[in-house]
Structure 1
Amino acid sequence: MMRRTAGFAGVFAVMWLGTGCGEEARGAAPYDWRLPAGFPTPRVPADNPMTEVKVALGRRLFYDVRLSQNGTQSCGSCHEQARAFTDGRVSPVGSTGQVHRRNAQGLANIVYATSLTWANPALTSLESQALVPLFGTEPVELGFADREQELIERLRSDAALEAEFRRAFPDEQTPVSLATLIRALAAFQRSIISGSSPYDRFVYGKQVDAMTRQQKRGLELFLSERMECDHCHSGFNFQDATVHESTVEPILPFHNTGLYNEDGRGTYPAADQGAIELTGRPEDMGRFRAPSLRNVSVTAPYMHDGSMATLSEVLDHYAAGGHARLRNGGEASPLQSGFVRGFTLTAEEKQDVLAFLESLTDTDFLTDPRFSDPFSAP
Structure 2
Amino acid sequence: MINLNMATSIRLLCLFPLLTALLLTGCGKSRETEGYQWPIIDGFPKPQVPADNLMSAEKVSLGRILFYDQNLSANQTQSCGSCHLQEYAFAEPLMTSVGSTGESHRRNAPALVNIAYNKTLTWAHDGLTTIEHQLLLPMFSESPVELGITNHEQEVLARFQTPAYRALFRQAFPENFSVIFGSEGVSFELITKALASFVRSLISLDSPFDHYAYWRDDSAMPEEAIRGMNLFFSERLECHHCHGGFNFTQSTGHEQQLIDRRPFHNTGLYNVNGASAYPGEDNGLAEISTLAADNGRFRAPTLRNIAVTAPYMHDGSIKTLDQVLDFYADGGRNITQGPHRGDGRRNTLKSPFMKGFTLTASERHDLLAFLHSLTDKSFLTAPEHAAPE
TM-score, reference length from structure 2: 0.86
Q: Which runs of 5+ in 1 are unaligned?
A: 1-28
- Contact kept in structure 1, 2:333 and 2:344, CA below 8 Å: no
- Contact kept in structure 2, 1:152 and 1:178, CA below 8 Å: yes
Match of 1:168 in 2: 172
User: Structure 1: how far apart are the matches of 2:95 and 2:188?
Assistant: 31
User: Structure 1: how far apart are the matches of 2:366 and 2:116?
Assistant: 30
Q: Which one of 259, 262, 283 corresponds to residue 293 of structure 2?
A: 283
User: Structure 2: how far apart are the matches of 1:228 and 1:89?
Assistant: 29
- Contact kept in structure 2, 1:98 and 1:140, CA below 8 Å: yes
Match of 2:160 in 1: 155
Note the 1:74-223 alignment, pairs <5 A: 74-156=79-161, 158-172=162-176, 173=178, 174=181, 175-223=185-233
Indicate whether 1:251 and 2:261 are aligned.
Answer: yes
How far 1:34 sits from its partner (Å)?
2.5
User: Structure 1: how far apart are the matches of 2:53 and 2:42?
Assistant: 25
What is the RMSD of the two structures over their aligned residues, measured on CA atoms? 1.6
How far 1:35 sits from its partner (Å)?
0.9
**1:97-156 deviation line (CA, Å, top 9, x unaligned):** 111110000011000001110111121110011111111011100111122222222211
| Closer/same/farther in 2, CA of residues 105 and 80 from structure 1, 3 Å limit | same
Indicate whether 1:332 and 2:361 are aligned.
Answer: no
Letter in 2 for 1:266: S
- Contact kept in structure 1, 2:73 and 2:147, CA below 8 Å: yes
User: Structure 2: how far apart are the matches of 1:165 and 1:298?
Assistant: 34
Q: Which one of 348, 361, 379 corresponds to residue 347 of structure 1?
A: 361
Give the paired residue count: 347
How far 1:171 sits from its partner (Å)?
1.7
Match of 2:51 in 1: 46
User: Structure 2: how far apart are the matches of 1:331 and 1:197?
Assistant: 34
User: Structure 2: how far apart are the matches of 1:38 and 1:73?
Assistant: 39
Q: Which runs of 5+ in 2 are unaligned?
A: 1-33
TM-score, reference length from structure 1: 0.89
**1:181-201 deviation line (CA, Å, top 9, x unaligned):** 100000110000000100000
How far 1:331 sits from its partner (Å)?
5.1
Letter in 1 for 2:169: F
Q: Which one of 270, 276, 284 corresponds to residue 280 of structure 2?
A: 270
**1:310-333 deviation line (CA, Å, top 9, x unaligned):** 111001001001004886568511
SS at structure 2 position matched to 1:313 = helix
Letter in 2 for 1:194: S
Letter in 2 for 1:120: H
Letter in 2 for 1:68: S
Letter in 1 for 2:242: C
Runs of 4+ in 1 over 6 A off after TM superposition: none
Note the 1:294-309 alignment, pairs <5 A: 294-309=304-319
- Contact kept in structure 1, 2:270 and 2:344, CA below 8 Å: no
Match of 2:8 in 1: none
| Closer/same/farther in 2, CA of residues 330 and 138 from structure 1, 3 Å limit | closer
| Closer/same/farther in 2, CA of residues 329 and 184 from structure 1, 3 Å limit | closer
User: Structure 2: how far apart are the matches of 1:317 and 1:329?
Assistant: 12
More divergent stretch after superposition (244-253 vs 116-125): 244-253
Match of 1:72 in 2: 77
User: Structure 2: how far apart are the matches of 1:312 and 1:115?
Assistant: 27
- Contact kept in structure 2, 1:37 and 1:205, CA below 8 Å: no
| Closer/same/farther in 2, CA of residues 178 and 256 from structure 1, 3 Å limit | same
How far 1:272 sits from its partner (Å)?
1.1
SS at structure 1 position matched to 2:135 = helix
Indicate whether 1:368 and 2:382 are aligned.
Answer: yes
User: Structure 1: how far apart are the matches of 2:380 and 2:140?
Assistant: 29
Identity across the alignment (%): 52
| Closer/same/farther in 2, CA of residues 142 and 330 from structure 1, 3 Å limit | closer
How far 1:42 sits from its partner (Å)?
0.9
SS at structure 1 position matched to 2:264 = coil
